[in-house]
């Protein structure tokens, strides 16, 4: 979903940092071999994730929704030398592709993968986080927020992807559309919760940045 005129959007992309070669390779292989490649963060948004990580310089990152590992490698670019990324995905079939690029990246020892239901895994994580990325099943976004909010260090950042949901959040709601219904509630929750301050950015499919106070 593009919210800018195409010529402006293209100009923005051309005048932003280009993705590293390894991410170009991962993106190409994802589009060639994996179902629903549109789930990939992509070059432009990936550079935004990388920039945010470099600004935060996190020691600990939690990613909910690994997919093929593209966004995890973007976050790794800003990770402290002794830092760690914990990434969770329910699709074990993608682990081989993830590991291939984690190994090539040089960040393999700093990335810990979990396969399974994030709502069951997160409560068992005995750590706090400087940066959290929520990019998994939309129907659980509210559940993820409540599970992670008390695990984020003061000043930590929550990034929530796909919060505009191809523009469906401003269209008439289909009563059977659970994902859009939850996202509408989630966006209201982020804007109202006094533990965080939030800005929703109309980047690609919508990216919300929330800072824990």
Grade residue 32 by pLDDT with cuts at 50, 70 and 90.
Answer: very high
- The answer to whether residue 204 scores a pLDDT higher than 90 is no
Sequence-distant (≥ 6) Cβ neighbours of residue 133 within 8 angstroms: 49, 61, 62, 63, 64, 65, 71, 75, 159, 161
Express each pLDDT in 105-138 by its tens digit. 999 999 999 999 999 999 999 999 999 999 999 9
Q: Is 151 exposed, middle or buried (0-12, 13-18, 19+ CB in 10 A)?
A: middle
- The answer to whether residue 1 scores a pLDDT higher than 80 is no
The b/e string for 58-93 (b: 16+ C-beta within 10 A; e otherwise) is bbbbbbbbbbbbbbbbbbbbbbeeebbbbbbbeeee
pTM of this prediction exceeds 0.85: yes
pLDDT score at 39: 82
- The answer to whether residue 97 scores a pLDDT higher than 80 is yes
Q: Mean per-residue pLDDT for 63-68?
A: 97
pLDDT score at 41: 82
Percent of the chain with pLDDT over 90: 92
Express each pLDDT in 138-151 by its tens digit. 999 999 999 999 99
Tell me the torsion sign for CA atoms 85, 90, 91, 92: positive
Q: Mean per-residue pLDDT for 163-191?
A: 96
- Provide the 8-state DSSP code for 103: H
Q: Tokens 């929520």 — which residue? A: 134
Q: Mean per-residue pLDDT for 146-175?
A: 97
- The answer to whether residue 3 scores a pLDDT higher than 80 is no
Percent of the chain with pLDDT over 70: 99
CA distance 213 to 195: 6
- The answer to whether residue 37 scores a pLDDT higher than 90 is no
Express each pLDDT in 14-27 by its tens digit. 999 999 999 999 99
């Amino acid at each position: 979903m593009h919210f800018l005129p195409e010529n402006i959007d293209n100009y923005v992309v051309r005048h932003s940092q280009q993705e590293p070669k390894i991410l170009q390779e991962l993106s190409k292989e994802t589009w060639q071999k994996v179902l629903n490649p549109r789930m990939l963060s992509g070059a432009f948004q990936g550079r935004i994730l990388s920039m945010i990580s470099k600004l935060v310089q996190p020691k600990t990152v939690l990613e909910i929704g690994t997919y093929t590992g593209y966004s995890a490698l973007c976050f790794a670019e800003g990770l402290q030398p002794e830092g760690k990324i914990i990434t969770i995905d329910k699709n074990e079939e993608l682990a081989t592709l993830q590991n291939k690029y984690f190994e090539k990246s040089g960040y393999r020892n700093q990335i810990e993968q979990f396969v399974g239901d994030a709502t069951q895994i997160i409560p068992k994580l005995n750590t706090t986080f400087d940066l959290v990325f929520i990019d998994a099943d939309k129907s659980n976004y509210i559940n993820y927020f409540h599970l992670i909010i008390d695990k984020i260090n003061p000043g930590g950042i929550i990034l929530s992807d796909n919060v505009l949901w191809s523009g469906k959040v401003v269209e008439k709601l289909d009563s059977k559309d659970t994902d859009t219904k939850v996202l509408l509630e989630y966006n209201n929750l982020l804007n109202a919760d006094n533990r965080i301050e939030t800005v929703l950015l109309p980047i690609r499919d919508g990216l919300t940045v929330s800072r824990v106070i």
